[in-house]
Amino acid sequence: MFRDELQALNAIHAEQRRTNELLAQLLQSPAAPKKPVSQKQERVKSDESK
């Protein structure tokens, strides 16, 4: 049982590392927005375009 739990934790750790690498790549890409947009701001923009 201990071995199964250890394997599961190692798998989670590997996926978290991969997720962190992908997030770092996204943040470095030129297409990444400089300022985060809240959901409220998005709704206001979509309402204005109607």
Q: How far apart are CA 31 and CA 26, in angstroms?
A: 8
Q: What is the pLDDT of residue 39?
A: 72
CB 32 within 8 A of CB 26: yes
pTM value surpassing 0.75 = no
Q: How far apart are CA 16 and CA 18, in angstroms?
A: 5
Provide the 8-state DSSP code for 1.
-
Higher pLDDT, 21 or 31: 21
* Domain regions of the chain by residue span: 2-48
Q: What is the pLDDT of residue 29?
A: 84
Determine the 3-state secondary structure of 30 from DSSP.
Answer: coil
